[in-house]
Structure 1
Amino acid sequence: MLKRIAFLSIIFVTVLSCGQQEARKPVSISTGSFLKESVERNKALIAKEETMIKKYIKQDSTNMYIASKNGFWYRYDKKSPQETYFPQKGDTLTYEFNASKIAGNIIYNKEEIGTLEYVVDKQQIVPGLRFGLQLMKKGETVTFLFPSHIAYGYHGDNKKIGTNIPIQSTITLLDIKKDNKNLETEN
């Protein structure tokens, strides 16, 4: 009889434990509202910066600016009509540039930065610089107006450029060393 009671107790406990479990309520609820708010803040920031840049362009009536497909504006300070070659993937570009706030104080002058090299689409640089350099020919000097999202963005450069600062930058493309693959397609 004792065995039978023990056996029935085990079956009873087993049946009770196999019953349907109750769903637990989540500890935190994720609605996506943070992401939506972040997107709206970024849209507002971009619109504010674009308005500021367009106002600057309107006030600078002596120069003609071109709107790029990548979301920045630029003007030619020195053109190279004799040059026809634009940088291609793998080319090594030698350039100088400065950076300042739009119509404001210089942040870095070209002497402070020095001469730089960039291998097109093989190295990481600020998106605005990458796109801008590819619009230039050897010997040209171009002034760019970059909204912060294609300049140094939310983080800045961790030195002199702070959070969400639109940048005015004048770049001189000193030289283009063509990649061997690009030399072959030219012949």
Structure 2
Amino acid sequence: MNKLTVLLFTFTCLLACKTPEARKPETVKTGSLIEASVIRNKKLYETEKKAIEAYINGQDTKQFTASEFGFWLAKDSIVGESNDSKVPEFSDIVNFDYNISALNGQTIYTASELKNRNYAMDQEELFTGLREGLKLMKSGETYTFIFPSQKAYGYYGDENKIGRNTPLISRVTVNSITKK
């Protein structure tokens, strides 16, 4: 009986002590919302791009070029003689003036409403397009930027005067750059 008990115990251990099997994940279909969002954003981008190109084609005095950052820019002028030929870098203080208009030419914010501003590069809040545009400018330069909505205030707008998904035009003058 002793041999039978040992044999039965060994047989039970072999059957009961198998290695654990990994559970297979449940297949859940997701992404339909993301796919719809991608399609909607592509349509929005194409609509804005056509409106921006129509605006650019209507400009006789300014030559706009597309930047690698996803917006358009035109150099307006250089105010005075600039001794500083360098663009701002991280943590440099940029003193600038700017205004914001809609593509139809309607002024949204004047330069006096927005006031002269000191901005620590990449350390303060500023909408994406303007932050990237300032990185291209030198002291004393004035540029006109055209920002598609995703580079401006995007889906929410500024919750004041700028509506959602609104492309913007901004004329920016860099007064000075203080190196850190």
| Same fold at TM > 0.5 | yes
CA deviation profile, 1:103-138 (whole Å, cap 9, x unmatched): 321000000110111111122210100111111111
Is contact 1:139-1:174 (8 Å) kept?
Answer: yes
Deviation at 1:63, TM superposition (A): 1.3
Q: 2:63 & 2:163 partners in 1: Cα distance?
A: 28
> What SS class does the counterpart of residue 173 from structure 1 fall into?
strand
Partner residue of 1:40?
39
State the match for 1:173 in structure 2.
174
Determine the structure 1 residue equivalent to 2:68.
69
Question: Is structure 2 residue 53 aligned with structure 1 residue 54?
Answer: yes
Q: Following superposition of structure 1 onto structure 2, how do residues 1-187 of structure 1 map, counting pairs within 5 Å?
A: 30-79=29-78, 82=82, 83-179=84-180
- The aligned amino acid for 1:166 is P
How many positions carry a matched residue from both structures? Answer: 152
Question: Structure 1 unaligned runs (5+)?
Answer: 1-25, 180-187
Structure 1 length-normalised TM? 0.77
Structure 2: distance between partners of 1:71 and 1:175: 25
Identical counterparts, % of pairs: 40
Secondary structure of 2:105's match?
Answer: coil
2: CA distance between counterparts of 1:30 and 1:106? 46
Which AA in structure 2 matches 1:124?
E
1:32 is displaced (CA, Å) by 1.4
Relative to the length of structure 2, the TM-score reads 0.80
8 Å CA contact 1:94–1:176 kept in 2: the answer is yes
2:77, 2:177 → 1: CA distance?
Answer: 17
* Partner AA of 2:98 in structure 1: F
**Secondary structure at 1:111 match in 2:** helix
Say if 1:104 and 1:30 are closer, same or farther in 2 by CA, change over 3 A.
farther
C-alpha contact 1:103 1:168 (8 A) present in aligned 2 = no
Distance 1:31 1:119 in 2: 41
- 5+ unaligned residues in a row in structure 2: which ranges? 1-25
Q: What is the RMSD computed on CA atoms of the aligned residues?
A: 1.6
Report deviation, 1:30.
4.6
Paired with 2:146 and 2:108, the residues of 1 have a C-alpha distance of 14
The SS at the match of 1:98 is strand
Q: Select between 80-89 and 148-157 the one with higher mean Cα deviation.
A: 80-89
* DSSP-derived class of the 1:125 partner: coil
